[in-house]
Amino acid sequence: MNNLPLHDLLARLENELYRLHYNEQSVKYYRLMWRRIVRFFENEGVDHFTEEVGMRFLDKQYNFFELEKAGKLTQSIINAFRVVRMLGDFQQHGSILRRYYKQKDLLHNNEFKEILQHYVNHCRQKEYSKVTQDHYRKISEKVLSFLESQEIVFYSDITAKQVSGYINTLLGYSYKTVELHLCALRSFLRYLHTNDLHPQDLAETIPATKARKHNRIPSVWTPEHVTKLLDVIDRGNPAGKRDYAMKLSGTLTHLTAPLPCTHYRSI
């Protein structure tokens, strides 16, 4: 996807929106924003999407960085930021990631829906706690949705490459979030193999996570924690400005935003 010209990237992204049953009003909004982004990129002499130029677009059009520093970002500006971020994620992963989903039903492949239900029943029979069952179901559904975006039709066709591709979408998230996703992913893939639904135990291809007995992540962030988190980000370069905007957006929308590892380690 990185080598696709911007116009081709947008065409594929629009097809993905329709595949995920985004309504026409939402698609029209995205088209409007894309036209503005394309004009800006053309004026900059850039024909491929980059997050750096995308953030320059936000700053030029909306005075993004000054407003976010003053805590005056409006919802419309935050929505524009999400459009830019979606473009970057789709370019990198070829998938519309989970944070953009609005509909409850993520899956459209009947075979995937059926196997997910069988797996849910399996977890119930294993008498996993209700919390674990819920986590495993939601994460497995997201994994299958990602596989749909990669044009995988049958679960028997899943390869280590696609598993690795999904894991890459977790890059930058907190240790606990990654650990939870990998545990659920291992459980689901092992279920497929032990029930002769997949010829390979793809759970063996998932890297182990190192246990940490320190640097516990608080479940609730105080204003002081949030300020400290944002202050360590170097906003003197485009990448730093992008990361700062990503963290701020996550705070404003009460979502678990990805946390760049370099910044996390420096806290």
Q: What is the average pLDDT value for the chain, to the nearest integer?
A: 83
Q: Where are the alpha helices (DSSP H) in 6-156?
A: 6-19, 24-44, 51-62, 64-69, 75-93, 110-125, 130-149
Q: Residue 204 pLDDT > 90, yes or no?
A: yes
Rounded to whole angstroms, how far apart are CA atoms 187 and 183?
6
CATH number reported for the structural domain that contains residue 115 in this entry = 1.10.150.130
Task: Quickly state the pLDDT bin for 267 (edges 50, 70, 90).
Answer: very low
The answer to whether 126 touches 117, Cβ cutoff 8 Å, is no
- Residues 126, 82 within the same domain: no
Terminal-residue alpha carbon distance, the chain: 33
Residue 242: inside a domain? no
Q: How far out from the chain centre does Cα 62 lie?
A: 24
Q: Which residue range(s) make up the domain with 179? A: 110-205
Mean per-residue pLDDT, 161-185: 89
pLDDT value of position 261: 43
In the chain, the number of structural domains is 2
- Residues 51, 115 within the same domain: no
Task: Quickly state the pLDDT bin for 264 (edges 50, 70, 90).
Answer: very low
Domain boundary among 45, 65, 100: 100
Rounded to whole angstroms, how far apart are CA atoms 267 and 261?
10
Q: How far out from the chain centre does Cα 115 lie?
A: 23
- Residues 61, 133 within the same domain: no
